A and B are shown apart, each in its own frame.
Chain A
Amino acid sequence: MRDGQPLVDLAWVVAHLDEIARRTLEHLWIAALAVGVGFGVAFGLALLVLRVRRAYGPIVGLTGVLYTIPSIALFAALVGVTGISLLTAEIALVIYTLQILVRSIVAGFDAVPADVLEAADGLGYGRLERLRRVELPLAVPLIVAGLRLASVSTIGLVTIAAQLGEAFGGLGVLITQGLQTFFATKVYTGAILSVALAIGADVVFVLIQRRLTPWARAGANRLAG
């Protein structure tokens, strides 16, 4: 950092609101796409696990190994296959969500009480109907818990994707450029906003869960009243 420079130069921020907003939206969009696609893939894998239990070990093992690869290394490795592209960034980000999401979705379905499933079968629910009307709603709390973790970690990882290039780094681009030019304002702006995005995403998921599971608070109300 250069001497005499304020920590955050508000004049620069005001002058660059356009760019900051664009980078923020880009960041959000890249993360949302990764979590969305990751959720779809993880949900399919979880359904497979529910059908074929033996698949759980290998699937969790594989996603676990992928999860341990350092993000920079994974981005670099993928560049060799898919080039410097949004696809590269997304593939890496999706891979990182799988470990969290597969486990949480399977745990969500496993948490549905056996007596509830027996009652559902005994009353004449078909297989799909049971999945949609009984198992899925009851799996929501754990699934949403997984989505919260995955979205927070993905929002953090997008900043690293900025290493791939200015086109797909979101707020990470501000951070990278700030570091390269010793301009603290840019670094802080990017960092603070990406933390704010992560917190915001977390809050949104909590609100969604409250909406979807009014029944989960019923027991607590009873204890309180």
Chain B
Amino acid sequence: MEVTEGHAAATVEFRHVTKHYDAAALRAGAPGAVTDLSFVVPAGRVCVLVGPSGCGKTTTLKLVNRLVEPTSGQILLDGVDVATGDPTVLRRGIGYVIQQVGLFPHETVEENIGTVPRLLGWSAARRQERAAELLELVGLPPSRYARRYPAELSGGERQRVGVARALAADPPILLMDEPFGAVDPIVRERLQNELLRIQERLAKTILFVTHDIDEAMKMGDLVAVMATGGRLAQFGTPAEILAAPASEFVARFVGADRGLKRLALVRVGELALRRPVAARVGDPAGPARDRIRADPFPYLLVVDPAERPLGWLDQDEVPETGSLDAGGLQPAVPVFDRRTTLKDALAMLLDADVQAGIVVDEDDRAVGLLTVDDVVAWLRSDGASRSPADAGREPAASDTPRSA
């Protein structure tokens, strides 16, 4: 077996890579040049190359699989210079997805996916099995799709097949050149989420080209912002780039709404959440009334015996005697879990027109409160620069809410 699940990912390193085109090539429409590019993408990470058109991001991608040869410098995959071997052999070990997909119109979906395995000499039975496996992975039932021709697929389905074809021989590296640029926004969003889901399982090293800064921030563990002339303007995590753009160019490119973009990168669980003042149904009302009156937040959260939120009670409506019941509560909305992004949480808070949302854990127990003020305070505190190394897409699931 040429390819095993063993080498799941590889490090990609650019060392002072420059690609210049001569006048004739430029007239023939050569893509953007690249100037002294150096960066390292650790194994298993998604690095997004983003920048205006003509900034050399596609050229950078093609330098990796030698569809373009550098004028000077080196590209190393797990420390091995790509220039040392046969380019066709190199390419069979690197997944490649392009915007127009480039499915072979005369081959069925199954045959398309089996392209690299066939070039590597896999048996027909094994290719077929692998194609079915990958169709499942990208959400296309093999029984319905394996025998179709590309002309019988929608744009989104073609892109999925393109991704499946790139993954066929389980390459350690995936190159994706604006893979979702040609589909409508709704399908694009779905494909992005699916790729992130697949990547969680496969953990490939992915170089992903886009001109869409939002897509870059969403998909990248690392983002390389490129400027015209193929220079690296900034390289870092999305949070680092949004919190501290390295130059005027980067700041303008990421946009005036970069504060809002940062909200999409942070999850509720990463904030220091305030504990709700809560009482169970059936608890004595008197002590609960004293506790909520002592708290700056004027609503008591009433929970069921399993600590799941039932609703809010205004502090003035908490009886002085007797026990609490579930009547007369205001609805307990919105509810977030720790993985909800601040952007979504803010939208839900504004939409529900309430002061606070309830954060629940895996067992739906109320563990924290989140207010609009909390979100604004986080933005002002420049929270994103707090721990840039892991403030990317990594969910902070292990964070425990602390009381404010």
A residues lining the B interface (CB < 8 Å): 113, 115-126, 129, 134, 137-138, 213-215, 218-219, 221-222
Contact = CB atoms under 8 A, between A and B. Distances in A.
B105 A124 contact: no
B149 interface: yes
Nearest to A219: B151
B104 A124 contact: no
Contacts of B91: 121-124
Nearest to A127: B88
Interface in B95-145: 96, 98-107, 115-116, 119
Nearest to B62: A122
Nearest to B165: A123
B30 interface: no
Contact of A113 (B89, B102, B151, B152): B102
A175 B367 CA distance: 100
Contacts of A122: 65, 67, 91, 96, 98, 102, 175
Contact of B106 (A125, A129, A213): A213
Contact of A218 (B89, B101, B152): B152
Contact of B116 (A115, A118, A123): A123
B106 A137 contact: yes
B67 A218 contact: no
A119 B103 contact: yes
B157 to A, nearest CB: 11
B339 interface: no
Interface string B75-102: 0000000000000111110001011111
B188 interface: no
7 contacts: A119-B98, A120-B104, A121-B67, A124-B91, A137-B106, A213-B106, A215-B151
B15 interface: no
Given A121-B91, A122-B96, A129-B119, A215 B103 contact: no
Contact of A222 (B92, B104, B116, B151): B151
B169 to A, nearest CB: 9
Given A123-B96, A123-B119, A124-B91, A218 B102 contact: no
A215 B65 contact: no
B105 A138 contact: yes
B326 to A, nearest CB: 55
Given A215-B149, A218-B149, A219-B152, A124 B102 contact: no
Enumerate the 10 nearest inter-chain pairs by beta-carbon distance, A residue then B residue, closest first. A119-B102, A219-B151, A122-B96, A115-B100, A218-B149, A124-B92, A124-B91, A115-B102, A218-B151, A137-B106
Nearest to A140: B106
B211 interface: no
A205 B106 CA distance: 19
Contacts of B116: 123-124
A44 B44 CA distance: 47
A142 to B, nearest CB: 13
B148 interface: yes
Nearest to B112: A119
A184 B367 CA distance: 105
Given A115-B98, A122-B65, A215-B149, 16 more contacts: A113-B102, A115-B101, A119-B96, A119-B101, A121-B91, A122-B91, A122-B102, A124-B91, A124-B92, A125-B119, A138-B104, A213-B106, A215-B106, A218-B151, A221-B152, A222-B152
A138 B151 CA distance: 13
B89 A124 contact: yes
Contacts of B65: 122
A218 B112 CA distance: 15
B117 to A, nearest CB: 10
B159 to A, nearest CB: 12
Given A119-B98, A215-B105, A124 B88 contact: yes
Contacts of A117: 102
Contacts of B89: 124
Given A118-B67, A124-B119, A218-B148, A138 B106 contact: yes
A129 to B, nearest CB: 7
A120 B88 CA distance: 10
B105 A123 contact: no
Interface string B258-271: 00000000000000
A116 B151 CA distance: 13
A125 B120 CA distance: 10
Contacts of B90: 124
A42 B148 CA distance: 34
A138 B91 CA distance: 23
A116 B98 contact: no
B67 A116 contact: no
Nearest to B115: A123
A220 to B, nearest CB: 8
B100 A125 contact: no
Contacts of A113: 100, 102, 105
A116 B67 CA distance: 14
B88 to A, nearest CB: 5
Nearest to A126: B88
A116 B106 CA distance: 11
Given A119-B102, A222-B151, A215 B119 contact: no
Nearest to B162: A119
Contacts of A125: 88, 119
Nearest to A121: B67
A115 B106 CA distance: 14
Interface string B144-188: 000011111000000000000100000000010000000000000
